[in-house]
Structure 1
Amino acid sequence: MLKTIIMDFDGLIVDTEVVWYRIYVEWFRVHKQYDLSVQEFLACVGSNAEDLFRKLDAKGIHVDRDAFAQDTLACFIEESGRLPAKPGVEDFLKSARENGLSVALATSSGRKKPTVHLERLHLMQYFDLLVTAEDVERIKPNPDLFLKAAEKLGCTPAECLVVEDSLNGLLAGRNADMRVLVVPNDVTKYCTFEGQYRLCDSLADVDVPSLIAEF
């Protein structure tokens, strides 16, 4: 029986991944004279930038982490602060609550970013719980975020549906023994997804009562 929806944030609720990708590409072009590919960028989607930076270190392209953050964060905050929720997000959340499901957010980012956006978009009311990188030792693709959310909401993995946009998110859900609904965005559509419960183009295409009935 489906009891809980556990949702990612970046790229699923708000399309921040597209903003970050543009910023990363421009930074590497200007500061490293390097053309960062979307496949390279995907290494950090759903996880964090350190995965990407370590791979580039191995290629002889060293990134000063503090300098990168200083150069890019203000631009990201400015651009992402105007982003709307992605199509179908609010209707999906509203339907989940109307159909008796609990809803959690589980993100590899810190708490401040999703909190600011959810409050700005008036979506916080739909969430019972936020689990962030500050609450666990390991982020995605490890299962800790999802398992922590299930534990706090009193659910077993079999009673949870993870909703994700990234390969790291899918792997984390599978590592948690949870079914995963994948909704790719304009960056993660380049991933090769395998083993998901379902793949959809948009949350606007997902009918919550049908999910409950077939779970």
Structure 2
Amino acid sequence: MLKAVIIDFDGVIVDTEVIWFEIFNEWFKNNWNYDLTIEEFLICVGSHSKELLNRLENEHNIIIDKNKFNKETSQKFIDESKNLPLKQGVLEFIKSIKNENILLALATSASRKKPITHLIRLNIIQYFDVIVTSEDVDKIKPHPDLFNKAIQKLGIKTEETIIIEDSVNGLLAGNKAGINTIVCTNDVTKYSKFENFFIKVDSLEKVDLKNIIKKYDESSEIYANR
């Protein structure tokens, strides 16, 4: 039986990934005259920028003060994302979850302030039963810690849960946690190569929650009759 949905924030609830790519691309262009590609940027989507910075240092000898980079890009992101709307289909999907009396959790690699600020601004924070951020775990995605912590806080089993993710790092984390993961791509992550997902869509409008609930119920019956 499906008892909970765990959803990512960046790129799923609000379309932040496009803004992040533009900010990163502009920063490297201005500071290093380097054209950052989508493929390079995808390394850090759903995880941390240090993975990208380490790659650029090793492969292109682009040595960056990580603290300076994070401070400058983070401030620009705050400025440019403060009016971002919910992605299409998000509110309807969240309401459908609650209408079915299913628990809802947020699990994000971001620190707590950013998602909380946006969830309050968008007036949807009241729908979430659990919120897990990078401040709650030792390792972020692609490690499974965020999802394991969410499961623990929800008080349910992995087989009673489904994850909504937009990135390869998120999908890897979901698979490592042993939880079925729906990939919901955006204009950045659509270029990623995804493998071993439960369902793949390009909008939450295309996720049929009732059909997913039915599949979980059927699986539970099969397991109970063994």
Matches within 5 A, 1:52-201: 52-59=52-59, 60-201=61-202
Task: Give 1:66 shift.
Answer: 2.0
Q: Distance in 2 between matches of 1:133 and 1:79?
A: 22
> What is residue 25 of structure 1 aligned with on the other side?
25
TM-score, scaled to structure 2? 0.93
1:40 aligns with 2:40: yes
Instruction: Provide runs of 4+ in structure 1 moved above 4 Å.
Output: none
Q: Distance in 2 between matches of 1:102 and 1:70?
A: 35
Query: Where do 5+ consecutive residues of structure 2 fail to align?
Result: 217-226
Task: Give 1:46 shift.
Answer: 0.3
Amino-acid identity (%): 50
SS at match of 1:84: coil
TM-score, scaled to structure 1? 0.98
Higher Cα radius of gyration: 2
Amino acid at match of 1:167: V
Query: Where do 5+ consecutive residues of structure 1 fail to align?
Result: none
> What is residue 11 of structure 1 aligned with on the other side?
11
Q: Distance in 1 between matches of 2:182 and 2:75?
A: 32
Amino acid at match of 2:24: Y
Amino acid at match of 1:193: F
Q: Distance in 2 between matches of 1:173 and 1:50?
A: 21
Q: Distance in 2 between matches of 1:179 and 1:135?
A: 22
Task: Give 1:159 shift.
Answer: 0.8
SS at match of 1:44: coil
SS at match of 1:9: coil
Cα RMSD for the two superposed structures: 0.8
Show CA shifts across 1:152-187 (max 9, x none). Answer: 111111111000000000000000000000000100
> What is residue 213 of structure 2 aligned with on the other side?
212
Q: Distance in 1 between matches of 2:179 and 2:190?
A: 21
Amino acid at match of 2:46: G
Q: How many residues align?
A: 215
Amino acid at match of 1:50: K
Task: Give 1:69 shift.
Answer: 2.4
Task: Give 1:65 shift.
Answer: 1.1
